[in-house]
A and B are shown apart, each in its own frame.
Chain A
Amino acid sequence: MSASDIILKLSNIESYYGPIMAIRGISLEVPRGKIVTLLGANGAGKTTVLKTISGILDPKKGTIEFDGKPIQRVEADRIVRLGLSHVPEGREVFPFLTVRENLMMGAYPRKDRDNVPADLERVYDYFPRLRERINQPAGQLSGGEQQMLAIGRALMNRPILLLLDEPSLGLSPILVKEIFGIIRRINQEQGTSILLVEQNAKVALETAHYGYVLEIGRVVMNDSCEKLMQSQDIQEFYLGAVDHGARGERRWKKKKTWR
């Protein structure tokens, strides 16, 4: 793969929360126009990776290249202007602003103000429910609607790379299906590259093209999603498949291949 096909490249990134090392040398790549997922248990460092990319946290070591430009230790608001939008975990909408004002805040860094109304329409096409709630304060929306608003708000920046942090958090299975359907559509119709962090490994592996598995701040496995889904470790530890051993019970102490 040539360099221009890689939209985002992390090399040996190390990030700290104070004295605590949260990411221990991670390297990963997001190919242009693809969906890449980061899997891992609580505390594996998935969210920290996203925060480091979008400039909320500065890495101690390593480099991040976005669209060929180094962006480590660049201010967060400048990174957004380069076309990298981050949908944070827990939605983080502006609760007292209306749906429309929330979306307009997503377009804040845009220079081409003339195209904003068309993009607003496009977001309403993806999320028709937001159109119905256009003048309601965002704090009054349901969890699923807030998630839609958070994604729509990020789309208003016309990102070339979208970072999604746990879009399924706290949503019903049917809403999860709906939202991931839209994520796939955004990727196919707009050609937006996506880096997706998920706890729900099944839906993430079905949606993404390529996956990385994180454990305590390290990448322990990476492959195409088809291959990951067939891996026995992934099936057992992330997809919950039950492996019946010789004694007919689940083997709780079984070692993973990478340990």
Chain B
Amino acid sequence: MLDFVQQLVSGIALGCVYGLIALGFVLIYKATEVVNFAQGDLMMLGGFFAFTFIGILGLNYWIGFLGAVIAMAAFGMLAERLVVRPILGYPQFTIVMATIGLGFFLRSVAGMIWGTDDLKIDTPFSQGVLRLGGLVLAHDKLSVIAATLLLCLLLYLFFNKTTLGTAMRASSENMLAAYYMGIPVKRVVSIVWAISAAVATAAGVLLAPITFIHSNVGLVLGLKAFPAAVLGGFGSIPGALVGGVLIGVIESMAGFYLPQGWKDVAPYIVLLSVLLLKPEGIFGLHVRKKV
């Protein structure tokens, strides 16, 4: 039983990171119908930024964290402006290829700048453990879960209680009508990319004590986060988080209880079965707009 809870918590922690990356996929997809395959690499780059601020420049962890988030938000806007906006309106496939290309580019550049070794960030959560009876929970894992919950609350308040957040939902529902209302749609899209990159960075920095930072971390996690988004029903924000947590827990359980090799396959088996039984995903939207 203790083992089970232990695995559950580390699964949820890992799943939260998948969920945060999947959230980035979903935000951008909802706003612009673009699937950004470089989402995981934005996370990786965010991790390196944080490493530079904290590990090399020696800044305080929290200041470095915030600095990395802000820098990556700006980078997200830049990526949208330079890579995606010029080809908007071309077939979906073109844009997908462009974001895959952006991912390759970011991985290579990160390798050139920061090398190919695993890097580590010292965090306030790196060492400590929480003991509850016989249960030993590492602080780094708990911090990921807590931070994810906090981020979700912030995003929820932003999208539902602020005018800019509502305008973003409006643009993603009906871009043309948003234009008619005088909402500056292009600026809204750039802010969506900024938020998405910032969320990915937060995921990357939180993950740093668990998996280390290296230039391929984004590719590996991005490939897990994408099914998380699909599992939740692409286009649903709560779905992305639930899908992420589900994939994380399944992976963690499969790694512990099943023979070696199942760990990486199990999430995809679940994904395939969910898609066969409920193709629109767990939270897929059924509501259709009236014409």
Query: Which residues of A are interface residues toward B (Cβ below 8 A)?
Result: 54, 56, 76-77, 79-81, 85-88, 90, 92-97, 101-102, 104-106, 108-109, 137, 139-141, 143, 146, 153-154, 157
Please tell me which stretch of B113-121, B173-181, B213-221 contacts chain A, meaning at least 4 of its Cβ atoms lie within 8 angstroms of it: B173-181
A88 CA to B176 CA in the complex, in Å? 9
Instruction: Name the A residues within 8 Å of B287 (CB-CB).
Output: 95-96, 137, 139
- Smallest CB-CB A-B distances: 4 pairs: A80-B182, A109-B182, A95-B289, A92-B177
Kindly identify, within residues 249 to 291 of chain B, every residue whose CB is under 8 Å from any CB belonging to chain A. Answer: 287-291
Instruction: Name the B residues within 8 Å of A56 (CB-CB).
Output: 176, 179-180
Q: Which of A80, A90, A97 contacts B166 (CB 8 A)?
A: A97
B179:A108 contact, CB within 8 angstroms: no
| 22 interchain pairs, CB-CB under 8 A | A56-B179, A76-B179, A76-B182, A77-B183, A77-B184, A80-B180, A86-B180, A88-B176, A90-B291, A95-B173, A95-B287, A96-B287, A97-B170, A102-B170, A105-B178, A105-B183, A108-B163, A108-B167, A109-B182, A139-B290, A141-B290, A157-B181
By beta carbon, the residue of chain A nearest B182 is A80
B81 to chain A, nearest CB (A): 16
- How big is chain B's contact interface, by range? 20 to 34
A94:B177 contact, CB within 8 angstroms: yes
A97:B179 contact, CB within 8 angstroms: no
B163:A92 contact, CB within 8 angstroms: no
B20 to chain A, nearest CB (A): 23
Instruction: Name the B residues within 8 Å of A137 (CB-CB).
Output: 287
B52 to chain A, nearest CB (A): 38
By beta carbon, the residue of chain A nearest B187 is A77
B180:A92 contact, CB within 8 angstroms: yes
A108:B173 contact, CB within 8 angstroms: no
B185:A104 contact, CB within 8 angstroms: no
The verdict on A88 contacting B177 (CB below 8 Å), with A97-B170, A105-B167 known, is: yes
Instruction: Name the B residues within 8 Å of A94 (CB-CB).
Output: 169-170, 173-174, 177-178
B180 to chain A, nearest CB (A): 5
Instruction: Name the B residues within 8 Å of A139 (CB-CB).
Output: 287-290
B183 to chain A, nearest CB (A): 5
Which of A85, A87, A108, A109 has the most chain B CB atoms closer than 10 A to its own CB? Answer: A108
